[in-house]
Amino acid sequence: MMAITGYDEIIKQAAGAGADVIVVGAGLPLNLPELVGEDTLIAPIVSGARALKLLCRRWKTYNRLPDLVILEGAWAGGHLGFSDEDIKNYKEEKLIQETRDVRAFLDTLKEQKDIPLFLAGNAFDEHRIKKLLDAGADGFQFGTPFIATEECDVSDVFKKVILDAKKEDIVLIKSPVGMPARAIRTPFISTLRGEKQKIRDCRNCLRPCTPAATEFCISKVLIHAAKGNYEEGLFFAGDGVDKINKIRTVKEVLDEACLYILRAGSPGCGHGEGSL
Ligand SMILES: Cc1cc2nc3c(=O)[nH]c(=O)nc-3n(C[C@H](O)[C@H](O)[C@H](O)COP(=O)(O)O)c2cc1C
């Protein structure tokens, strides 16, 4: 997340420690190329073609282009790079059109670089996967489906919140980052009144947060959720959370995704030998 305090230093340290790929969201990472060497692959998470074009114009001044691109629509979990209005009016056609537009732009760069495009945000759906592949996606990034897996290291309480969530439990809140965020209605959500308070024992985790006047400490409530404090936790989830109703293994989730991708007529999904 670009919003994180010490972002530049964290990226430099991650690259220096040997990270193969650095993926950055929650803001446009305009200076990312100056923080890493040429050997580190870099990828922005963008909300549409306009943001990507702007980013690529800047990255060209560093003589770099993205190594891969993640297009995250307004149905993702957690922080969203859209206005409240755009989120409320978001439709599948919009996601597909944005995919086409990003694909068309990436195709103009093809002579310089073949850049794969990954789609994120309630993409775990057979029909949607087919439409997105047809529109030019090369792959997918899933978030919420992996929370309800045996391997996921969040508390069982978080997993139960995911399993129990219905469409009407999905809410948008205003995060101290200054962006809207998608979460599940739990007791913490009903305490939100839009009133500011001074945060004690601030961890100074986010640059855009003002600890002297913010409604809550996001670091604290997200940790509560991960640790299983149902009353005080903030549980982020994507718009497709209501479709998840049992705990599976990561392999089962990936196998199902691969099946959808193969049925859509795509040659393969790279999910390793022995799957399916
Ligand atoms: C609990 C949760 C936490 C997330 N945290 C981050 C984050 O810290 N940074 C980020 O770039 N995206 C974050 N995301 C977004 C995911 O990486 C992913 O792109 C998105 O949720 C995909 O949509 P899906 O959950 O519908 O599959 C988060 C999503 C969830 C559900």
Domains along the chain with CATH numbers = 7-143 (3.20.20.70), 156-243 (no CATH)
C-alpha distances (whole Å) from 150 to each of 178, 194, 224, 246 are 33, 36, 20, 10
CA distance 52 to 105: 9
Separation between Cα atoms, residue 187 and residue 234, nearest integer Å: 9
Please state, as a whole number, how many other Cβ atoms lie within 10 Å of the Cβ of residue 135.
Answer: 18
pLDDT in single tens digits along all 276 residues of the chain: 998 999 999 999 999 999 999 999 988 999 999 999 999 999 999 999 999 999 999 999 999 999 999 999 999 999 999 999 999 999 999 999 999 999 999 999 999 999 999 999 999 999 999 999 999 999 999 999 999 999 999 999 999 999 999 999 999 999 988 899 999 999 999 999 888 888 888 988 998 898 888 999 999 999 999 999 999 999 999 999 999 999 999 999 999 999 999 999 877 666 654 444
**Which residues does ligand 1 sit against, CB inside 6 Å?**
1, 25-26, 45, 72, 75-78, 120-122, 124, 141-145, 236-238, 240
Residues 44, 57 contacting (CB under 8 angstroms): no
Pocket probe for ligand 1: among 69, 72, 155, the residue whose CB has the most ligand atoms within 8 Å is: 72
* Residue closest by Cα to atom 4 of ligand 1: 78
Instruction: Tell the residue number behind the tokens 């205003």, with chain if given.
Output: 174
- Output the CA 102–ligand 1 centroid distance in Å: 20
**What's the CA gap between 41 and 1, in Å, rounded?**
16
